[in-house]
Amino acid sequence: MALRVGVDIGGTFTDFALVDEATGALAIHKQLTTPDDPAQAVVEGLPALLRKASAAAGDVGTLVHGTTLVTNALIERRGARTGMMVTAGFADVLDIARERRYDMYDLRIAYPTPLIPRDLRVEIDERIGADGIARIGLDLGDVRRAAATLVDRRGCTAIAVCFLNAHANAAHEEQAAATIRAAHPGVAVSTSADVFPFMREYERWTTTVMNAFAQPMFDQYLLRLEQGLAGIGFRGTLYVMTSSGGTVTIDTARRYPIRMLESGPAAGVLLSAALGRLTGRNSLLAFDMGGTTAKGALIRGGVPLKRYDMEVARIHEFKPGSGLPAKIPVIDLIEIGAGGGSIAQRDTRGVIAVGPRSAGAVPGPVCYGRGGTEPTLTDANLALGYLDPRYFLGGEMPLDRAGAMAALDRVIGAPLGVDATQAAWGVHETINENVARAFRNHAAERGFDYRACTMVAFGGSGPLHALRVARKLRVGSVVFPRAAGVMSAVGLLASPLAFEVLRSERVAHQDLTAEGFDDRFARLADQATAHLRAAGLDPRDLIIRRAVDLRYRGQGYEIEVVLPEGSGAAVVPRLPALFAEAYAAVFARSFPAEPIEIMNWKLEAVGPTPGRGADYLASATASRPAIKGRRPAWFPEAGGFVDCAVYDRYALIAHDAFVGPAIVEEQESTAIIGVGDRVTVDERGHLVVKVAEPKP
């Protein structure tokens, strides 16, 4: 079976993409998400996708799935009632946290409430030293009594086992977990040494708690999804994408739901990087805007920037430090509460504010006609003429422009003394400025100059806003890939099986031997490749990537150093020079005479890129006129509404060119081409836009 399917569940729409590996033919589909049971949208949408491809569910060999279900469950606190077993004397670590303020001058500062309340944390009298040697033995009778208290008396269906220094010796956690599972086989158990063996206990324990909290919910979701797919005839293999951009088996996903936090958005970033490498553009800004959020990611040297930490459920204006820290490998995304469903209103100052609240799929924007009453960004874009009310989703979902205009006038226009069109423009431009400001700060923190890069814009709403955001950032060119509206689903098709592991172990460079170096990475390789071998991959086909976190002795934080290939004998002597280079890139200087030490050891095993990779997007064949019609759209630079040519994306072929203002429509998204912007269609059918210089 040569058919592969990618399914990405978003806050408003669920996106589908199918590729025939034999021919490269691509079929896509998009439909509203079902928030109460996201699996329902997948099971209902797959047959619609297959009809477009004239295929049957039994013809699909692989289905790769991306979802933000775990993220949403943590934000909305819709997980299991979770208990915690913790080393005696450390039950308050979740409340103490990092003991620092994320805003020194905000008198209203607040922190997220721990997922596990204090009365569900049970102390266990055990102790492992920082050297991994047991100081106080583990009494399994204490574990059984604690489990009975949490499960039988307090109703917990998940337990996080978090012992001090378990990263150095996991024996006590493993014994406790085995005891709990034997006594309560229906309870989900997560241990900190398994989920993330990191030496700083607060981050390790919060990550483990989130994993346990989400595990029963995610397990049930995957079970419903498997059963639903089987019911419509799917007999292939189901994979799930992780936040780091690799895919894993269902069993691995069930074990580590915390790794699925950004599983959908990561796929679009990976495909952006792949498209950039194919076209010789290695410095990119990937811009994804859907129905609920906008995401941005930086790609340097053809590779997306990654990190080993993220925060979930920030509670204070999206400020770092105001959320729950998760230590997992993740593509470095910035996320803004800005999407097609973002609700527009007037803030306490009386000015326009948009998001982060979203109308989602239910009830959705006013123009959907599904009961929404609050105007959204999609309503504004419809009012400005950017969307065709008769061609939304290829005509499958007509929109109510009059209803959108009325809502904008009632909530924004009349109170501010402007008409509905001016209100709509204010909403549209507010989002553009919010996104540009967030991206600008993100780039500055990472030393990335947007002016020298190309933007790749995708998502259902991204092409509507990309060129104005690019102009604000001084980005000179923007690429709209084919199938931009479902690009994350398409990216799932090109994502390899991969698994990444980290282990904390502090080793001074002067004490590190070549044999010790090789032995540590050999153990990590066994652990990482086990997940891929279980999926049927040949170890000889795997790519191994290694890195270490290094610091000068006595420092509090580390810098990642990607390691070259080679044995310890070749790499260990080079570590000081590699670290000096990485340190200078961040701080503009280094201190070669100072001793260094390794804190964390990292290894990623990556399987072959499946199928055709990113090269399946063949150029379209012109079968009808490129210009499908005209309609007025709002361009303030041209004085207001301008009669614009509307191009049929599917009729554009390589080397076609035109100048804005114009509109380019495909079924899943619409690209707005600004005044003076120059569009060329490249050999693969992507739109490449040279952004007009802003007028002074």
Q: What is the pLDDT of residues 549-595, one digit of tens each?
A: 999 998 988 999 999 999 999 999 999 999 999 999 888 899 988 99
pLDDT, the chain, mean: 90
Long-range pairs, 70-73, Cβ under 8 A, ≥24 = 70/214, 70/218, 70/257, 70/258, 70/260, 70/261, 70/263, 71/261, 71/262, 71/312, 72/11, 73/213, 73/214, 73/217, 73/218
**Among 207, 205, 210, residue whose Cα is nearest residue 87:** 205
3-class SS at 413?
Answer: helix
The answer for residues whose C-beta is within 8 angstroms of residue 12's C-beta and 6 or more apart is: 32, 33, 290, 291, 292, 339, 340, 341, 358, 360, 361, 364, 460
The full set of domains in the chain, from first to last, is 3-74+220-260 (3.30.420.40), 78-209 (3.40.50), 342-429 (no CATH), 498-606 (3.30.1490), 627-690 (no CATH)
Place of tokens 């009325």: 406
Task: Name 7's Cβ contacts closer than 8 Å, sequence gap at least 6.
Answer: 14, 15, 16, 42, 45, 46, 63, 64, 65, 66, 489, 492
Q: Which residues contact 195 (CB under 8 A, 6 or more apart)?
A: 204, 207, 208, 211, 256, 258
Q: How far apart are CA 665 and CA 630, in angstroms?
A: 12
What value does the mean pLDDT take over residues 57-65? Answer: 90
Q: Which of 520, 533, 519 is nearest to 602 (CA)?
A: 520
Q: Which of 23-32, 77-86, 160-169, 237-246 has the lowest mean pLDDT?
A: 23-32
Side-chain-side CA neighbours of residue 165 (13 Å) = 15
Orientation of helix 420-445 relative to helix 401-408, angle to 10°:
80
The H or E element containing residue 647 is strand 640-648
Q: Please state whether the peptide bond connecting residue 595 to the residue before it is cis, i.e. omega within 30 degrees of 0.
A: no
Above 60 in pLDDT, residue 618? no
Q: Within a 10 A sphere around the Cβ of 629, how many other Cβ atoms?
A: 14
Q: Closest Cα partner for 219 from 190, 180, 182?
A: 190
Q: Tokens 């001016």 map to which residue?
A: 422
459 phi and psi angles, rounded to 5 deg: 95, 165
Give the model confidence (pLDDT) of 439-478 as tens digits: 888 888 787 888 889 999 998 899 999 999 999 999 999 9
Question: In 10 A of CB 24, how many CB atoms?
Answer: 13
CB 631 within 8 A of CB 643: yes
Within a 13 Å sphere around the CA of 430, how many CA atoms are in the beta-carbon half? 27
- Tell me how far apart the terminal alpha carbons of the chain are, to the nearest angstrom: 57
Task: Say yes or no to pLDDT of 220 above 80.
Answer: yes
Contact (CB, 8 A) for 677 and 659: yes
User: pLDDT (tens digit, 9 = 90+) per residue, 337-370?
Assistant: 788 888 999 988 888 998 888 888 789 899 999 9
Torsion angle, alpha carbons of 495, 496, 497, 498, to 10: -90
Say if CB 617 and CB 685 are below 8 A apart. yes
Beta strands 26-32; 454-458: pairing state: unpaired
Would you say 234 and 47 are in contact if contact means Cβ atoms under 8 Å apart? no
pTM value surpassing 0.75: yes
Residue-wise pLDDT for 142-181, tens only, equals 999 999 999 999 999 999 999 999 999 999 999 999 999 9
